[in-house]
Structure 1
Amino acid sequence: MSALPLNSQNLPYPDPLHPIIVHFVIAMVFFSFFCDVLGYFTRNVRLFEVSFWNMFVAAIAIFIAIIFGQFEAGLAQAQKAAQSTLNYHTVLGWSLGAIVAAIAAWRFVIRNRSPRKVPPAYLGAATLLVCLVFLQVYLGSKLFWVYGLHVEPVVQAMKQGVSP
């Protein structure tokens, strides 16, 4: 059984898929939060429905992002300096998967019990979620822009034994 051939980015497919999927999740979580806050102040019930569906889809998509993130992290030739950031990003990613799923479930209960409003406690939890997502974005950006995970010149240098 032979291994899949890896390209110049150390991947078996043309480009990293984790960032593509995760940006979709980030946008959906932020848009869900925005719709809930706006709906809370304007009392527009349609915004609550938009918020629910965005969080619902984000709760599914985040696990797809995590799976691709784990796969691509396993293929990355991470420098020792990047390892702690990668570990923290991984733990926070799995934690966010659980948190987004829990918040989506809570949002589902709210939608069924009182579809015309969201409680302030939910908005507080969603605010915390948004803050954690910002932290995760920072960590992921650091892995790409500082440590060059799956960036072609860095991958090529590491293959030649040069550690940037």
Structure 2
Amino acid sequence: MITYFLLLNDHNLPYPDTIHPIVVHFVIAMVIFAFICDIIGYFSRNIRLYEVSWWNMFFATIAIFIAIVFGQYEAGLAQPYAAVKPVLNLHTLIGWSLSGVIATLTGWRYVIRLRSSHKLPIAYLGMALILVILVSFQVYLGDELVWVYGLHTVPIVEAVKEGILQ
């Protein structure tokens, strides 16, 4: 079994394709959907949407740590060349920061939920909006890593192995 994980395919991965983007898309969707539910719930006074938002943030908190583990592993296997390193480093830094921000907002949301499930402070909504903006910027960086710099794509992996990209 160990030898299976040591053999890398043409994407420079020990498994068929990248897992980080799959997991991270759940985080993106859950954070944005939680914010939308909060906004609609705030203006419509539909408190059931607050419950939907809470559970989305709860599972996003768990999923982001799974996404970071796979992201770190896959970034290490990518053998990043010089041009991609600044973007990858920023993406990594923001990813770790987002894990803290999401966990903190989820904790704050839990306290709000315990104290008064019928009201949501405008300050929380403001912080959730900032979170959505950060997540959107992180999505931009992730897209840049794949679509501009081609991490884990066959032509880039081959170019790095041949020494064309350094």
Deviation at 1:160, TM superposition (A): 1.8
> How far does residue 157 in structure 1 lie from its aligned partner after superposition?
1.9
Residues in 2 aligned to 1:156 and 1:81: alpha-carbon distance in whole angstroms? 16
Secondary structure of the 1:80 match is: coil
Question: Is 1:61 the counterpart of 2:56 in the alignment?
Answer: no
Greater shift, 92-101 or 110-119, is seen at 110-119
Q: 1:97 is aligned with what amino acid?
A: S
Name the CA distance, whole Å, in 1 between partners of 2:150 and 2:79.
10
Which stretch shifts more, 24-33 or 154-163?
A: 154-163
Give distance in 1, aligned partners of 2:39 and 2:153: 38
Tell me the TM-score normalized by structure 2: 0.95
Partner of residue 73, structure 2: 71
* SS state at 2:23 partner: helix
Q: Distance in 1 between matches of 2:119 and 2:21?
A: 33
Q: Which runs of 5+ in 1 are unaligned?
A: none
Distance between the aligned counterparts of 1:32 and 1:111, measured in 2?
Answer: 14
Match of 1:156 among 155, 158, 164: 158
1:81 and 1:156 mapped to 2: Cα distance?
Answer: 16
Distance 1:89 1:153 in 2: 22
Q: How many residues align?
A: 164
Structure-1 separation of matches of 2:79 and 2:148: 14
2:37 to 17, 35, 38: 35
Contact 1:79/1:147, CA 8 A, preserved across alignment: no
State the Cα RMSD in Å: 1.3
Partner of 2:137: 135
Out of 14, 19, 27, which is 2:21 matched to?
A: 19
Query: Structure 1, residues 50-108: CA drift from partner, whole Å, max 9, x if none?
Result: 00000000001000000000000000021201000000000100000000000000011
Distance in 2 (alpha carbons) for counterparts of 1:79 and 1:158: 7
Question: What is the letter of the counterpart of residue 60 of structure 2?
Answer: A
Q: Check if 1:51 corresponds to 2:53.
A: yes
| Distance across 2 between alignment mates of 1:117 and 1:13 | 46
Q: TM-score, normalised by structure 1?
A: 0.97
What residue number does 2:120 align with?
A: 118
Which sits farther off after the overlay, 21-30 or 146-155?
A: 146-155
> CA–CA distance in 1 between the matches of 2:98 and 2:73?
17
Runs of 4+ in 1 over 6 A off after TM superposition: none
Instruction: Determine the structure 1 residue equivalent to 2:7.
Output: 5
Deviation at 1:162, TM superposition (A): 2.0
Write the deviation string for residues 124-146 of structure 1: whole angstroms up to 9, x where unpaired.
00000000001100111111111
Counterpart code for 2:121: P
Deviation for aligned residue 1:154: 1.2
